[in-house]
Structure 1
Amino acid sequence: MPNHTSPSPVWLFDLDNTLHDASHAIFPAISANMNTYIARVLGDGATPASQDVVDAARLGYWKRYGATLLGMIRHHQVCPKDFLHVTHDLQELQKLVRAEKGLGALLRRLPGRKILLTNAPTRYSTDVMRHLGLGRHFSHHVAIEHMHVHRQLRPKPSSLMLRRLLRKHGVAARRCILVEDTLANLKSASRLGVRTVWVTQYLRMSDPIGKASLPRTLKRPGYVDVKVKSVRQLPARLHRLR
């Protein structure tokens, strides 16, 4: 008798403001590091750039490219490795991490493979996952350093990067579910046929400087299949993702 059971999904989980509350303390700390770094780069060699100049550059590049780093590379020739190391060098990271309890049990309950897909660097995201105790639940860890297409850095929401990721893992887009807080990333994934889950509880700081426009409403966009406040609600919404 033929087996008509649907294959298990492949989950693509974002990290910051999805699996933990980065807005609480981590984003402010990264923001402070980034301000110092960008002020030095945009300064005249003796005097750092003003905060207004720094904010304008950060927000402009974040909106235009989806990541401040891409603008800094393109317009100021910064070294990506150096930028990521300096901006994500956080003292006593464990004290900054805030997350819900029971996430490990949640991940065990979800059928299928889990892949961490984060625009954060490897060292930082590995440290956060260790403090959360969630690393063992993920078969792969895809950080920003792994998001190159044709030798160009292409972090989320790059559709080219996501297509390459799906090919590498031999999985069809319709088998994948992206769990994210960032609507631009969900929209891009949906266009490829990936199912989408929007996590909303940490939206008070949607970008690293907290100045990008938050959604005027938390109404679910058409490209979002399921909206949840917390990832802990995923098992109850599984039927809507089949």
Structure 2
Amino acid sequence: MPHPIPASPVWLFDLDNTLHDASHAIFPAISANMNTYIARVLDDGVTPVTRAQVDAARLGYWKKYGATLLGMMRHHGVIAADFLRETHQLHDLRAMMRAETGLGRLLQRLPGKKILLTNAPRAYSTHVMRHLNLGRHFAHHIAIEQMQVHGRLRPKPSKLMLARLLRRHGVAARDCILVEDTLANLKSAKQLGLRTVWVTQYLRRSHPGAPVPARPRMLISPHYVDVKVKSVRQLPKRLQRLCPST
């Protein structure tokens, strides 16, 4: 029997395709930047790098490690800061963004502390949050650079990283709710005992490294998803299921 979550849980919110529509223009642009970067890394100066080779690296590392960056670091000696800076160079971010209105009011209606937990780099996620005007609603902003365990980068879906985050903030897993669009991240969180919310409306492309389309068949909720919502705006209506004591 799961323990009820208190009236003031800790919410862990993903950013891209959860709080805004990154699939509209941002993810395609980041994917193009990734392709350019990967092609440059794979280029041996003799044999031209093919699109198939680039796609195999981008998608293969994303599937194997949960992030293309980790594969590029492990197999090609890429420096994380360099990869993140170059792949997230977006010249007109504001024009590329699409988001629902009223997200600030929504976050105010949710009881408890909110933490932004994103596999995106700090500079990019800070700019997105500024354009969304949501920064003041979050007690902490944890970007991929901060997801270190024993000196190694461990972004979502790392259970080691999540467990360390909970210890650092002094919160039990049963008191946390992860709100995400990526099923792999929800699965690892559920295995640690967190409650999980799956946001589905932006799943045309779930990650810059993912193929298109990346939409799960019929959007059937796996057993590790406690609540499925189309939009985070539906969260207040689902509070009773997520927070029985409210």
Distance in 1 of aligned mates of 2:80 and 2:60: 18
TM-score for the superposition, normalised by structure 1: 0.96
Is 1:211 the counterpart of 2:211 in the alignment? yes
Specify every segment of 5 or more residues in structure 2 that has no aligned partner in the other structure, as ranges: none
Tell me if structure 2 keeps the 8 A contact 1:26–1:96.
yes
Q: Which residue pairs with 2:94 in the alignment? A: 94
Q: Which residue pairs with 2:54 in the alignment? A: 54
Identity over aligned residues, as a percent?
Answer: 74
Shift of 1:51: 1.1
Deviations 1:125-148 (A, max 9, x none): 000000000000000000000001
Shift of 1:81: 0.3
Q: Aligned pair in 2 of structure 1 residues 69, 209: CA closer, same or farther (>3 Å)?
A: closer
Deviations 1:112-160 (A, max 9, x none): 0000000000000000000000000000000000001011100000000
Q: Which residue pairs with 2:18 in the alignment? A: 18
Q: Aligned pair in 2 of structure 1 residues 48, 31: CA closer, same or farther (>3 Å)?
A: farther
Within a 5 Å distance, the mapping from 1:11-90 to structure 2 comes to 11-45=11-45, 49-90=49-90
Q: Which residue pairs with 1:196 in the alignment? A: 196
Deviations 1:178-215 (A, max 9, x none): 00000000000000000000000001112214417532
TM-score for the superposition, normalised by structure 2: 0.94
**How many residue pairs align between the two structures?**
239
Distance in 1 of aligned mates of 2:45 and 2:106: 50
* Aligned-CA RMSD value: 1.5
Deviations 1:22-43 (A, max 9, x none): 0000001101111000000011
Distance in 2 of aligned mates of 1:17 and 1:88: 16
Tell me if structure 2 keeps the 8 A contact 1:66–1:157.
yes
Specify every segment of 5 or more residues in structure 1 that has no aligned partner in the other structure, as ranges: none
Tell me if structure 2 keeps the 8 A contact 1:42–1:48.
no
Shift of 1:6: 3.0
Shift of 1:92: 1.1
Tell me if structure 1 keeps the 8 A contact 2:37–2:87.
yes
Within a 5 Å distance, the mapping from 1:157-236 to structure 2 comes to 157-211=157-211, 213-236=214-237
Tell me if structure 2 keeps the 8 A contact 1:114–1:139.
yes
Tell me if structure 1 keeps the 8 A contact 2:118–2:143.
yes
Distance in 1 of aligned mates of 2:194 and 2:59: 28
Q: What amino acid maps onto 2:218 in structure 1?
A: T
